[in-house]
Structures are given as C-alpha cells and as structure tokens.
A and B are shown apart, each in its own frame.
Chain A
Amino acid sequence: MQTSEYAIEAHGLVKKFGNFVANDHLTFDVKKGEIFGFLGANGAGKTTAMKILCGLLLPTSGKIKVAGFDVYTQTNLIKKHIGYMSQKFSLYEDLSIEENFRFYGGIYGLSRKQIAERTSTMLKKLDIEPLRKSLISSLPLGIRQKLAFSVAIIHSPGIVFLDEPTGGVDPITRRQFWEMIYEASEQGITVFVTTHYMDEAEYCNRVSIMVDGRIEALGTPGELKKKFDATDMNQVFLKLARKAG
C-alpha cells in the first residue's frame, strides 16, 4: 500500500476554529522509520495538528497523507496503520493490565494467540509480570505511561503518535520511556512525538518547532543549533520564542 518513502506528508495544513488559526499552513514530511519531534510551547497548535494526522479532527484545508492515505476520505484506513497515545490518560483504570491489552488488541483485530503473546512480551520487557492482574488505578504514573505506549503499538502500526508522553513523569522514567521509543523505532515504527522538554528534542532524528500555529524551524537538532548559533535546543527554542514575542 505504501509506495512513498514518507510516512507523513503535509502540505499547507490549515486548521481554523472560527477566526482562530490553530495551524497556519504547516508543511513537513516525515520519513519512514524516523523519530520526528514536534516541538512548541503550550498552545502552539501541536495537539491540533496531531489530531488531524490521526483522523480525529478534519483539517480546514491542505493536502495531507498519513501512511499513504488521505486524511479527508480514508480516515479509517489511516486508523488501521497508526497508534496513538493521547495527552489525556487513555487506559481503563478499572481494568487490569491484561484486560486493557486484551481489549485494545481485540478491537485492532489481533488473534487471541497474538494478544497473549504480545501481552507477555510487553510485560516482560517492562519487568512488571507480577502486576499482570493489577488494576491500572493501582499503578504509579510512570508505569501507566509506559503501558499506554505499549497499548498504542500493540498492533505493530506503521506510525505511532505520542502526544506529550513524558508529561509529569520523573527523569528516570523519561529516560526509560525514550529507550522504549528507540526500540519501537528500530522495529521500523515511525515515531511522531510532541514534547515541550527541549532536552528530549536532542533524541529525535529531526524536529520541527512550532510558534503560534506556524512551523518556524525544521531540521536535525544539529542543523538547528548551527543555524541559530545555540549550544543546545533550549537556546534554539528561546531564540525562536523571543522572535515571536
């Protein structure tokens, strides 16, 4: 199905809510297998753009393809090929780890055997096998976030969208979370991640920085640092944000 080398192609993506322009002509491509960081301050329009790419929101205009499918007409095909971890916590708190895996695996059409296998693999990887039957509500936030990510890729999607996946977790867990992202990337999953932690931007292959609904910078972390004459991504971001002032 996917013939192009790009997992995501967006050309002139515009989203307006009434008079407010949330996304102002965004144009970017994400290569297959890439870890693409989608940076910006709170309210810059990251989540809106991500929801459009996931088929949760219709764009106002623009030509956008995700996994080779059109976001206006083929949202259900897109949904088969993507995983999504929202900012809001997305597992059922009154179900156990196992039951959450079974439910999401089930609605993605995995077989019983596949669900059982993947559940065991994931639990082993996270080293939480004894918690298999624990309710999500009893687990600490760090583990929940890792589980939410595991659920988002339970059906081995081509692309996974992560909306501020490390919000509110401690540095150690953040580190572990990025190891999981790398692992997914090695398996060939394209990762599209939003964050406002600038140190995390260094982990991405390429980043775009959004300010007030527009993409102000796009490139590898190295290129951006050179271009803005900065020692780290934090400085790049501050320079851009001041310019927008």
Chain B
Amino acid sequence: MRTIFYIVQKEFLQIFRNRMMLPIIFVIPVVQLLILSYAVTFEIKNIRLFIADSDNSVASRNLSSHLRSSPFYNIVDETPDPSVGTDLLQSGKIHQMLVIPRGFEKDLALANKAQVQIITDAINGSAAALMNSYTMSVVNDYNRAIIAEIAPDAGQPVAVTWSYWFNPELDYKTYMVPGILVLLVTIIGMFLSGMNVVREKETGTIEQINVTPIRKFEFIAGKLIPFWIIALFELAFGLILAKFVFNIPILGNVFLIFSVASVYLIAVMGIGLFISTITDTQQQSMFIAWFVLVIFILMSGLFTPVESMPQWARNLNLLNPIAYFIAIIRMIMLKGSVFQDIINNFLILSFYGLSMLLLSVWRYRKTT
C-alpha cells in the first residue's frame, strides 16, 4: 500500500508540474459545455421553403398563408412554376418545396379531396423527417380549418392531449448537458491515464520501474488513482456549471451520480490503460484511443437516439460503457431515478470496470 502512495504522490507532482494541465482541467469543461450544449441542437428553425402555387386560388393562397404565419418557415419565393423550385433544391438554396397543382380549389370544392406535394432535401435524413412532419402538421391544421368550415358540428373523432415528462419545455440543453458531462470525464479518464503510461515507455523510466520489486497491481493502481480523482473533481466542476450556469435540473441524488461515475471511470481508465500496454508511443496510443472513443461517442446515444439504431448496433452498444453512463446520468439528473432504477446498468458497469482492470494488470508485463 505504501508503494501505491509513493506512485500517486509522484504522479500528482508530475501532473501539476505540467503547465498545460491546469488549463486542460478547467478550460475543457467550460468550452465543451458552452459549445456543445448551445450549438448542437435538433430543433429546426428557419426552414427555407419554396411554394409552387399553380392554382393561385383563394384556397391555395389560404394554405400558403398558414405556412407564412408559422415561425418556423422562411418563404424564399412563390411562383406558379415548380421547375424554379427544383432548381433551387438542386442548388441547395431551399430545404423544401410545396407544390399546389392546378385545380386544387376545384377538386376541393367538387370532390372534397385534393392533393398537394411536399418535396424535401433529405441529405440529412433526420432533419428532413422533422421538416416533413412540421409541414404535415401545418397542412393538417389547414385540413381541420376546412372541415370546420364545411361541417361545423363534425368535430374530431379522436382528440389527443399530450404532455412532455422530464423535460417539459423540450429544452435541448437539458438533454445534452448530462451527456456532455459524461464525455468530459471520459476524455480525462481514457486519454490522460493511457498517455501517462506510454510516456514512461518513451522516456525509458518504465524500465527502471520494472527492475524494482513493485507489483503489477500496485503500479496500475498508482497510475489510476490520480486521474480518477482528477476526473471526479472534473465531474463536480461540470455539475456545478450545469446547475448554476445552465440551470439544468438535478432531480436525483448527487452522491448516486458520483458513485456511478466512480465505477464508470474505472471501466474507461481500464480501457485507456489497456491501450497503453499494447502500444509503444504516445502517437500510437492516441490514435487507438481516439478511434475507440469516436465510435463509442457516436453510438452512445449522446447525439442520436439509441432506440432508432438497427438491432446489431444496439447489440454493439452492450460493450459501450459511455452508452450505459449516459443513460444512467440522464435518468438520475432529469427523472430523479434512484439506485433501484439503475441497478442493472450499474452492475454491468461494475463488471466492465473490473474486467478492464484485470485485463490491463494481466497485459502489463514487467518481463518481456
């Protein structure tokens, strides 16, 4: 145990003697929280819409005025000729085009049935789906207005009321910030701890360590503990920022968040250490860590919902510690979940952490 203490002491001296370290610890969380939580949003405002109204009737103008009055649309142009809109779509100047065919009003009056066409630039699939559903709901509004005019007593067969739980204002920041906190501790845990061991390989000091009677678990523990403490401190700093700067609700128990984080960190640091035991230079280890991290982050459900991923991708996520922690931290912070709610994920993370730790202790060789 004394040996571990001496390693931890030495690591802290080296960490804080590195002039880049303090800025990294304090600047990264602020920048990440600010940029990611404000910039990354799924809400779509300013849909650039083109209306090709070939009918030019009272009915068609009524429909387009519905769209004009919505705050989400920016009507780029309105001409009877759809080919103008096709060109605009092609050149990327508009997102969406609404085509009202000739005879729209007549069909509506005679057959009680008319057609319009919505064409959406679907390069970004999820944005396209969202714009499509916005426009559909505007058209539905218009439908209801017509029905009300024709048959005022008809009413609506099924009335739907809704409420949004856990994030009533559908604030995107509320959804993003807990996930970004996870990213924060992950980056510290995975990169710094991994880099550190490889650096000793590069400077040659590892050889000097390897001729001492130090035990493998002592070495690994001595390397983990400092970054584990720094990452938990980082989480505390991030939570304070989240609470007081971004007004993100923290409904659940803060200590529960920290206990999950403690276990989670062991898992990601274990991955970082494992990478460092199979690489010889900081460059190699950086590359592999980055590769692993990018996949984990993109699949984690931070930016895209896990539920909409194909089954094989969801299965792959069973191996993704970031996905577990993001799910847990959102539950605790936004729903106020208690330990019983997250126990399964918690146990999986514990198992994960233990395995990664054993793996890196096993892989670390004092004798080659």
Contacts and interface: CB of A to CB of B under 8 A. Distances in A.
A54 B367 CA distance: 10
B212 A92 contact: no
Contacts of A58: 367-368
Contact of B204 (A54, A57, A86, A107): A86
Contact of B368 (A56, A82, A91): A56
A84 B207 CA distance: 9
A134 to B, nearest CB: 13
A240 B207 CA distance: 32
B213 A93 contact: no
Nearest to B7: A107
Contacts of A89: 203-204
Contacts of B368: 56-58
Nearest to B18: A94
Interface string A101-120: 01110111100000000000
Interface centre among B9, B208, B209, B212 (most CB of A within 10 A): B208
Contacts of A76: 213, 215
A86 B2 contact: no
Contacts of A91: 205
Interface of B is mostly: helix
A147 B91 CA distance: 70
A76 B18 CA distance: 33
Nearest to A83: B211
A95 B14 CA distance: 7
Interface residues of B, number: 26
Interface residues of A, number: 31
A90 B207 contact: yes
A54 B211 CA distance: 7
Interface string B330-368: 000000000000000000000000000000000000111
A224 to B, nearest CB: 30
B205 A102 contact: no
Given A75-B367, A79-B211, A108-B213, A92 B205 contact: yes
Interface string B1-37: 0110111011001100110000000000000000000
A240 to B, nearest CB: 29
Given A55-B367, A106-B6, A99 B204 contact: no
B211 A56 contact: yes
B143 interface: no
Nearest to A75: B367
B309 interface: no
A52 to B, nearest CB: 10
Contacts of B2: 106, 109
A125 interface: no
B214 interface: yes
A42 B13 CA distance: 37
Contacts of B3: 106-107, 109
Given A75-B366, A88-B204, A92-B205, A108 B14 contact: no
Contact of B6 (A83, A94, A103): A103
A55 B210 CA distance: 9
Contacts of B210: 56
A56 B6 contact: no
Interface in A60-85: 75-77, 79-80, 82-84
B91 to A, nearest CB: 57
A104 B17 contact: no
B11 to A, nearest CB: 10
Given A58-B367, A88-B204, A109-B2, A95 B13 contact: yes
Given A86-B207, A92-B205, A104 B212 contact: yes
Contact of B208 (A80, A82, A90, A95): A90
Interface in B196-239: 203-205, 207-215
Given A56-B367, A102-B6, A109-B2, A94 B211 contact: no
Contacts of B204: 86, 88-90
B367 to A, nearest CB: 6
A93 B204 CA distance: 11
Nearest to B222: A107
Given A106-B3, A107-B3, A99 B207 contact: no
Nearest to A72: B367
A106 B5 contact: yes
A81 B306 CA distance: 56
A161 to B, nearest CB: 8
A8 B326 CA distance: 57
Contacts of B213: 76-77, 79-80, 108-109
A99 B10 contact: yes
Contacts of B7: 103, 107
Contacts of A109: 2-3, 213
A107 B211 contact: no
A167 to B, nearest CB: 13
Contacts of B212: 79, 104, 107-108
A86 B366 CA distance: 15
Given A76-B213, A107-B6, 9 more contacts: A57-B368, A75-B366, A79-B211, A79-B213, A90-B204, A90-B207, A99-B13, A106-B2, A108-B213
15 contacts: A56-B207, A56-B210, A56-B366, A75-B366, A83-B211, A89-B204, A90-B207, A94-B17, A95-B10, A102-B9, A103-B6, A104-B212, A107-B3, A109-B3, A151-B208
Interface of B: 2-3, 5-7, 9-10, 13-14, 17-18, 203-205, 207-215, 366-368
